[in-house]
Every structure is written in C-alpha cells, then in structure tokens.
Amino acid sequence: MNMRRINPAIKTLATALLLATHNFAGEVKIDDKPLSIGALSEFGFVEEGLFRTAEGSSISKMEWVDHFGAFITKKAIVNDRLYLSAGLGGVFQFRKPETVGAGFAYHQRKSFFIGPTESEAVYHFGDPENPWLKLGVGQFFYKYNPQASNLGEALFRSGPYPTFITTGGYVVVNSAAANLQGFKANYQSGALKADMLFTTETNMPPFYDWSLGLVASYSLGDGLLDLGAGVNFKRILSVRPSRTTRKTRENAYFKDPTGKYYVGNVDFYGYSAEFNLNAANKAYAQGNTALGDHYAVQSSRDSAAAAYVTEVLSLPDGDPAKPAMDYFTSQGNLLMARATLDFKKLFESSLFSPEDLKIFFELDVLGVSDYPVYYENITERMPIMAGVNLPTFRLLDLLSVQMEYCNSPWFNNTNYIGQKLSNIPFIPIGTDDILSRTEFNDQAKHDNWKWSVLAQRTIKGRLTLSAQVASDHLRLTSSEYYYGPQFDHNEVTALPKHWYWMTQLSWGI
C-alpha cells in the first residue's frame, strides 16, 4: 500500500469535513499517526460438535480449526478534535466441515474474508483531553460489557425472532465485541456514560434495516460497582418491509374458530408426525405396545394438525371460512441489564492484576413481545450470564470464567431467516435422530447451559498469548451455507458434550 497516496487523502478529507461543519478558518493542524500493523494466528480443535448439511445433522469429532489474519490501520487527529481512522484487514480460513468430493478423499473450501477494520470519523466536543460528547460515523467495534470476554454482549450479537445468539466470528478467541456500521454518539459526565447507536444490519438477513440502540452505565465507589442497562430497537426502520415481515404461508400464524393458534409452516406438524410414526413402529417391533401407542397418538395428532393447516391455507382469499393471517417479524425490542463488582477496590494489594477479582452479570431479553406457538414465553428468550475473573497472582493478565443459561425450546439456529427470510425457529426433519431422540426436537432442551474459560498474557506490550476452552455459540464458516457472514446456521457446540479449545498468538506494532 502506497502511504504517499493515503496521507494526502486523509488530510484532504479532514480539511473538507472541518470546512463543511464548522466554517473553520485558518491553518488545519493534523497529527498524523504512524501506520498500525497487526496479525494473529489462531488454531485449535472442535473436540466434538454439530454440523448441519442438506441431508440432516452430523456429529464431527477432532475437527481442526486454523485461522490467520492480518490488519493495517491508519489514524490521524485534526485540530485535536476530529479523529479519523481507516483500516483494512483479512482473515484466511478453511470452511467446515471437511467434505468428500469427487476424485478426492477429502477437500476443503479455502476462503479469504477481506474488509475494513475500524474505519470511522469521530468528532470530540469539549475538553480535547476529556470530551463530554463524541459523534461518529463509520464501521466500528462496540462493547458495552468490559468484562465479557466471550459470552454476554447479546444486545448487539443476537436476534429476537427467531431467537439466536452468536459468539466469536472470523476470529474466535477473546472476540466479544459487536461489529457495527452506522452512526454513534458517546456522552460522558463524571461516572455516567451513555451511548446512542443508529446502525444498519450487515450480518443477518434481511439486510440494511436500521436499529436504534441506547446504552448507559454508571460507576459507584470509584469503580467498586459498575451498573449498566440498554435497549436495542431492532430493525426500527425497515428498508423493505416486505422482507422484514414476510407475508408467506411459512411465516404465517392464525387462530381457528375455537381460539387455538396454528402456524402456516406445515413442516412443524409434518416432521413431528413423521418422527412419532417411526418411533411408534420401532416400539411395536420391540414388543413395547404401551410406548408404541404413546407415539402413535402423537403422530395421529400431528398428522391431523398438518392436514387442517394445509386445508386452511388452500382456501382462496375472501373465503369466509379462511381465518385472518398474521405474520412473524424480524423486528423486536431487546433489553439488557448488567453489573460488575470489583472486590479489589475493598483493599490494596500488588498481588493482583488489574482485571482480577471481578464478578460480573448480564441479563438480556431477546424480544419483549410474545407470539403464538413459537414465542409464547418471554423467559425462553432471556439469556443470563455470570462470570468471574480469577486471581493468578500476576502469572496471567486475565483468567476469565463465564457461564450462561437460556431456556429456549429451540436450537440456536438461523436457517429459516437466512435462507427464506422466515422468522420461525429451526424445525429438524422427522428422520434426524441426532436432534430428536426420545421426543421430537427434544435435544433443543439440552443446550441451555454454555460455558467459557479464557486465559491471556501480554508480553512486552506487543505479543499476546491467549487460550480459550468453551462450549458457547460458536459458528464456523460453512461448507454448505453462504448467507450473511457465511457461518454455519447452527451453533457448532450445540449439545452438552460439544466443546472446543483454541489458542491464539496476536502481535502488532
């Protein structure tokens, strides 16, 4: 990259912005910062995980993961107030899972994910050393929970309908910040901080909808207790309403004359009927008549529901027997509350690193509105995270342990919204014996607990060694699916036995 071309471009842009916004007269002072360069190498094993293909689910063991990334950033400060940055980076990795191809025992799809790193223009108001307000625009990383090293930060890393949460990204270890694009405002007065973010959707279809986020925090007792709260009006401004709320049969729900709700996705009933019929036949073959009758009754019930929904949907519009249709939507209001207690503030000791002895919590509500059948209980959309930074007596800079609980009855999956723009949860096919064992979709009830352990040490301020062991919401770039950031639509560590370990070496100048 030719820096002799970049520096004049930054200066020209800075001058234009100042003249346009402040009628600035006189010399423009530019503090031209040195070029920042960074890189990382990340590798490890998915010891056991779930991968989805068009044919159904599969369990993969000892899946090797290897990432390499490099990044460059250029910064400049104009008249001590306008902060400009522009960066470019890329991460190289192979798609997962490894697949069998014609003529090859195994093959992998190589991918380069290249794009801007933090690239933004931010203006500082008030004291240049301690501004009371910052206004910015661009692409930036945002993190509201300083202690969340992996889990948590769900306000901007999740969706309400269908309910999903993500962790990591193209980089897995210690990657808890959300990558946002749009406008931001940061206000600070003493111990009070408040942020407003107006951002466009670039991660999950439908793309380009705008969301409004408001986040505030307040520190008590010189940092002894840090409290925070926030709201994200997800997709408050829809670019194409027909995509945000799809009026299709699969995305519909309706009420029958008795007041009972049904969904228009016939597979919801058909797949369940198929599973129960197969289970009934198996039980009868084993001589277990009682169990066979149990499954047969459920299969008959689901088959009848599928037939009824099919009949209703086939009625022409305007037929008085056809009930009114409502539709699920991507829009939703998300809430967040958090707290951090720093026990080191109660006593002074040189034995502890700055991040030691902090206990922290986060509660999120991923959609405050309930909808029939799929989203009837708000508590099923409330992930709760708790963590602690354990003391290592300065052997490490950070040893963070986190746990999360979310009582969702559905898999953490984005298949329907990613491929069909339908705001419904993932429904496994009736013959999938990995996701449905003793009851249809029963394994979704066993993925409620998540955990993560991160150890980190920085050497000479330039080289950072990190190791992460977790069963979280990991998604890897997929061999099968290509919407949005091109991750697998299902979290890889979906079931209790699923976990991975990952190491990372990162450096920069």
The predicted structure's pLDDT at residue 174: 87
The predicted structure's pLDDT at residue 331: 97
* CATH classification at residue 139: 2.40.160.10
Those residues with Cβ within 8 angstroms of residue 181's Cβ, 6 or more apart along the chain or in another chain: 138, 139, 140, 199, 200, 202
pLDDT in tens, 204-262: 999 999 999 999 999 999 999 999 999 999 999 999 999 999 999 999 999 999 999 99
Beta strands in 95-175 (DSSP E): 99-101, 104-107, 110-116, 119-127, 130-142, 158-159, 164-165
Judge if 456 and 313 occupy the same domain: no
Looking from the CA of 288 toward its CB, the CA atoms found within 13 Å total 11
Nearest to 161 by CA among 224, 112, 210, 234: 234
Judge if 377 and 389 occupy the same domain: yes
How far out from the chain centre does Cα 87 lie? 23
Choose the final residue of a domain: 280, 298, 327: 327
pLDDT in tens, 269-324: 999 999 999 999 999 999 999 999 999 999 999 999 999 999 999 999 889 999 99
* First-to-last C-alpha distance (Å) of the chain: 17
Return the SS3 of 184: strand
Judge if 40 and 182 occupy the same domain: yes
pLDDT band at 194 (very low <50, low <70, confident <90, very high): very high
Mean pLDDT for 79-107 is 82
Spatial separation of the C-alpha atoms in residues 367 and 330, rounded to whole Å? 10
Judge if 375 and 360 occupy the same domain: yes
Looking from the CA of 52 toward its CB, the CA atoms found within 13 Å total 24
Q: Hey, what are 342's tokens?
A: 């720093």
Q: Is the CB of residue 70 less than 8 Å from the CB of residue 38? A: yes
Percentage, residues of the chain above pLDDT 90: 78
Judge if 166 and 233 occupy the same domain: yes
At residue 473's C-alpha, the angle toward residues 272 and 268, to 5°, is: 15
pLDDT in tens, 358-377: 999 999 999 999 999 999 99
Spatial separation of the C-alpha atoms in residues 181 and 160, rounded to whole Å? 20
Judge if 90 and 223 occupy the same domain: yes
Judge if 48 and 170 occupy the same domain: yes
pTM attached to this predicted model: 0.90
Q: Which helix (H) or strand (E) holds 234?
A: strand 225-237
Weakest mean pLDDT among 59-63, 125-129, 170-174, 459-463? 59-63
Judge if 311 and 353 occupy the same domain: no
- Does 218 or 58 have the greater pLDDT score? 218
Supply the range of the domain harboring residue 290: 252-327
Judge if 393 and 305 occupy the same domain: no
Q: How many domains does the chain have?
A: 2
Tokens 């408040």 correspond to 194
Judge if 463 and 350 occupy the same domain: yes
pLDDT in tens, 98-156: 766 656 666 677 788 888 888 999 999 999 889 999 999 999 999 999 999 999 999 99
Judge if 323 and 189 occupy the same domain: no
pLDDT band at 349 (very low <50, low <70, confident <90, very high): confident
The predicted structure's pLDDT at residue 129: 83
Question: Which sign does the torsion angle of CA 159, 163, 167, 169 carry?
Answer: negative
Mean pLDDT for 197-203 is 96
Choose the final residue of a domain: 327, 342, 362: 327
Return the SS3 of 265: coil
Judge if 124 and 239 occupy the same domain: yes
The predicted structure's pLDDT at residue 10: 46
Choose the final residue of a domain: 327, 349, 381: 327
